[in-house]
Structure 1
Amino acid sequence: MHGGTRAHVRWVPPPDGLFKINTDDAVSKHNQRGAVACVCRDSTGAFLGASAMVFDGLINPEVLETIACSEALALAEDMHIAKPWVASDCLNVIKEINEGGSNGQQCMIVKQILLKKDQFLEAKFSHERREANGDAHRLARSATTLDTGRHVWFSDPPSELGVVVNILNNQ
């Protein structure tokens, strides 16, 4: 963000009663480090919480995207959200979760997500294009510079998050 202004984020709001958690991953260009990020907002676009996880040596994008979906459920648990809507720009991972399994390197993470998903009143997983996922994308990219481990924000959003613009009606 240049000059202290925040970017506008094109965002698809969740239906009333659901809380949207956008996810993404990033791989550092300078070292063998990957990160995932989750950003939770309500149906008005208000920031509720965010988290990031940083890993040394883990750079497989599809595995990282799967971990991001798992982390979204962990963030929902931390925030006592009964109806999370997890959105990722990785269609393969969303298909694996919604179809109930995977044969890839991330198969055990998908199984964990499926078990954890049943602990919620309703947990929805959907694919969204990257344009609607700007917050999570910027936070994941920025997180590659953080210490290894999990980072969580509940009251004050990380500076990487932008001003939300509702993609459905450009508000």
Structure 2
Amino acid sequence: RCFLLNLNQASNLLDLSKKKSYLADLYALNKPSNNTVGQPMARPTHWIQPLDMFLNINVDAAVTRNRGRGVAAAICRNQGVFQGASAIVFKGIADPPTVEALAIREALALVEDLNLQSIHVASDCKVVVDNIKQRHLTSYGAILHEITDHSHSFLRCNFVHEYRSSNFEAYNLTKHVLSLVVCRRV
């Protein structure tokens, strides 16, 4: 009888141990962690300064839904100080990645006009930046080829992706220029 009682207690202790282990696992799964896997990253809400010796050029593009127009804009800064801006309105081009590639091409033209050599071109369109870096074949491949060739004329030239939240000035410029007539503004 004593053995049976001890066996019964051992069984209860084993069940209790399993329950505690199960509860500990549940607690660990529900506990907030510092692990960012699967969690969205906090996006910057301010201008991101490039590496030393580089001038920052933020680009953006916008398209109209019903008028078949696109705008490409670029803003150049040196350590946060405005150096110049350029925007161009295209009629008949309303494909967002194509217009974003044209914005990057416009940035290179602006930099050449300003006679600069070390540039950091930031776009909020990751697809286009990746296509430039990896030389993917796209419907706007001729523009990407022109960008790549033109980038070799500079001492240093980087293409990077930045979120729109840190690219707000170029975004605001494109929205303003979208309402204007077709032409280039420097």
User: For this structure pair, what is the TM-score category when the shorter chain's length is used for normalisation?
Assistant: 0.7 to 0.9
Q: Name the structure 2 match of 1:97.
A: 132
Write the distance in 2 (CA, Å) between the matches of 1:16 and 1:127.
18
After TM superposition, the structure 1 = structure 2 runs for residues 1-171 of structure 1, keeping only pairs within 5 Å, are: 10-29=46-65, 31-43=67-79, 45-99=80-134, 101-152=135-186
Write the distance in 2 (CA, Å) between the matches of 1:92 and 1:74.
21
Any stretches of 5+ residues in structure 1 without a counterpart? Answer: 1-8, 153-171
SS in 2 for 1:123: strand
**So what's the TM-score if we normalise by structure 1?**
0.80
Amino acid at match of 2:68: Q
Q: CA deviation at 1:30?
A: 5.1
Q: CA deviation at 1:141?
A: 1.1
Write the distance in 2 (CA, Å) between the matches of 1:10 and 1:135.
10
Q: CA deviation at 1:60?
A: 0.3
Any stretches of 5+ residues in structure 2 without a counterpart? Answer: 1-44
Amino acid at match of 2:67: N
Amino acid at match of 2:182: T
User: How big is the alpha-carbon RMSD for the aligned residues of Structure 1 and Structure 2?
Assistant: 1.2
Q: CA deviation at 1:29?
A: 4.3
Amino acid at match of 1:150: R
Contact (CA 8 Å) 1:19, 1:85: kept in 2 or not?
yes
**So what's the TM-score if we normalise by structure 2?**
0.73
User: Which has the higher Rg, Structure 1 or Structure 2?
Assistant: 2
Q: Which has the higher helix share?
A: 2
Contact (CA 8 Å) 1:51, 1:75: kept in 2 or not?
yes
Runs of 4+ in 1 over 4 A off after TM superposition: none
Q: Deviations over 1:5-25 (max 9, x none)?
A: xxxx71001222110000000
Write the distance in 1 (CA, Å) between the matches of 2:172 and 2:71.
11
Q: Which has the higher strand share?
A: 1
Q: How many residues align structurally?
A: 142
Write the distance in 1 (CA, Å) between the matches of 2:185 and 2:90.
12
Write the distance in 2 (CA, Å) between the matches of 1:23 and 1:88.
5
